[in-house]
Chains A and B, each alone.
Chain A
């Protein structure tokens, strides 16, 4: 009788419950790989359901900084021959750089093929004239106390820039407008949004997320406990 009852009920419900938990546990570990595989089968399905192209807007404060483009200035100071105070028009007058690169957030989401337009650090530094011994660029955001730092060799990599435009339009406030760092080879927290000051430095200073234990050299797939 008991045997028959067991066969009859099969504990399908318990199986479904444990199956869902098991699938979820697999997802916690391999969710990104599974989602990437699914996205290849159903192109862009998940991002379209979610938000525009999969972007998430992260801020550390209460609101998204609203910066008046008319009065905006980028200050470049520290170990430079000529400290700069650049308006958006000044920045747009510098040699223009365009690129298409992927954006990877450390929390696990990515946006592929973002079209960025802006200026390269070599052109900024040519204007300011870095002094001998300068090794680091520290970016200070309008969103206090967000800062982050790149080494000069990192900032001078060919796909690193200060972006004024995204996908053919002036960079919007949620994406860090009017000016943000774009460092595609590292996780997004290195790509400081709402940059209004660059300090050219001899010494390294930890940024906002580095104070919370995140790697300064945040190479994608090679940092923060992840292997490629």
Chain B
């Protein structure tokens, strides 16, 4: 079912969605870089300025949390809620797709859905374990042994997740066009018809109504 070349651009992500994505992405890499310096002895020795690095790490986390709340409060909440309703449902086609069988995909494919779910859960758990680590340095009654294990495990898992995400968004030839959807907000109609057939069909039906 090859679709004809169609260079027209169709909107994929609105300003709210893109703002949320880039707030999250920027904060993630700042937190990863500063976190690695705090965590790896060789890097800690090479960089020094531990107090400054720790303050950047904490401040970035705070700014991230404030900006996420601001984007949600001031942005297009109806759109975000619609995104989440799509993301949390993995239908029969999605389950076929995950078993590597051909299956038409909606605006998010099943991999994107799982990535978004994991990212959202990881963000909340990073925040919870981070707050506990921060509190524990101030008051020993918040001293549990679990938060550091959770923070570490999330770091490993996030590095794996973000590596796959970056590969598909920036390098892999057939998927990297998706990056345009997250920068400019739109994608080519023929690319969308191939990778997100159900989405394009639904949009077409909606436009015809």
Q: Which stretch in A28-36, A73-81, A144-152 binds the other chain?
A: A28-36
A224 within 8 A of B: yes
Interchain CB contact (< 8 A) of B139 among A27, A174, A213: A213
Given contacts A16-B114, A62-B50, contact A29 B146 (CB under 8 A): yes
In the complex, what residue of chain A is closest to B44 when comparing beta carbons?
A57
Q: 8 Å CB contacts to A: which residues of B27-59?
A: 39-42, 44-45, 48-52
In the complex, what residue of chain A is closest to B157 when comparing beta carbons?
A20
Interchain CB contact (< 8 A) of A30 among B41, B48, B140, B146: B146
In the complex, what residue of chain A is closest to B40 when comparing beta carbons?
A51
B101 within 8 A of A: no
A11 within 8 A of B: yes
Query: Could you mark each residue 3-41 of chain A with 1 if its beta carbon is under 8 Å from any beta carbon of chain B, else 0?
Result: 000001111111011001100110111111011000000
Report whether B51 and A62 are in contact in the complex, using a CB–CB cutoff of 8 Å. yes
B185 within 8 A of A: no
Given contacts A31-B145, A50-B39, contact A24 B125 (CB under 8 A): yes
Please indicate which of the listed interface residues B120, B121, B133 has the most CB atoms of chain A within 10 Å of its own CB.
B121
Report whether B41 and A57 are in contact in the complex, using a CB–CB cutoff of 8 Å. yes
Task: Name the distance in Å between A56's Cβ and chain B's nearest Cβ.
Answer: 6
Give the CA-CA distance A46 to B36 in the complex, in Å: 15
A214 within 8 A of B: yes
Q: Which stretch in B4-12, B74-82, B148-156, B199-207 binds the other chain?
A: B148-156
- What chain B residues lie within 8 Å of A35 (beta carbons)? 149, 153
Query: Could you mark each residue 213-228 of chain A with 1 if its beta carbon is under 8 Å from any beta carbon of chain B, else 0?
Result: 1110000000011100
A52 within 8 A of B: yes
Task: Name the distance in Å between A178's Cβ and chain B's nearest Cβ.
Answer: 16
Interchain CB contact (< 8 A) of B128 among A11, A14, A24, A57: A24
Interchain CB contact (< 8 A) of A52 among B41, B113, B122, B145: B41
Q: Which residues of A contact B (CB under 8 A)?
A: 8-14, 16-17, 20-21, 24-25, 27-32, 34-35, 46, 49-52, 55-57, 59, 61-64, 106-109, 173-174, 212-215, 224-226
Known: A17-B117, A50-B39. 7 other contacts (CB 8 A): A17-B88, A27-B125, A50-B40, A59-B50, A61-B50, A64-B44, A108-B145
Q: Which residues of B contact A (CB under 8 A)?
A: 39-42, 44-45, 48-52, 87-92, 95, 113-114, 117-118, 120-122, 124-125, 128-129, 132-133, 136-141, 143-150, 152-154, 156
